[in-house]
Amino acid sequence: MLHYANVFGKREVDDSEAMVRNNVRHPPQINEQLKNLRWMIDHVGLPEWVEKGREALKKLEDHRDRVRREERGQ
């Protein structure tokens, strides 16, 4: 179970950071990753991944908000 939690936590954090780094601009894809991160934070339970997940969640939410502002021309 610990191995699965580490693999899942790492994958979700890495995927989120890659989306920000690659400047993904597809809202449904961003929202799906946000949902996955929130689930991981609530259910994985390893403090290390919860903390990293919260940081990745904040970065991805900021990226989502920036994309929305740019699409609206603000």
What are the tens digits of pLDDT across the range 35-69?
999 999 998 878 888 999 999 999 999 999 999 99
State the chain's mean pLDDT as an integer.
Answer: 91
Nearest CA among 43, 58, 35 for reference residue 5: 43
Distance CA 48, CA 40 (A): 12
Say what the pLDDT of residue 46 is: 84
Look at residue 55 in the predicted model and tell me its pLDDT. 96
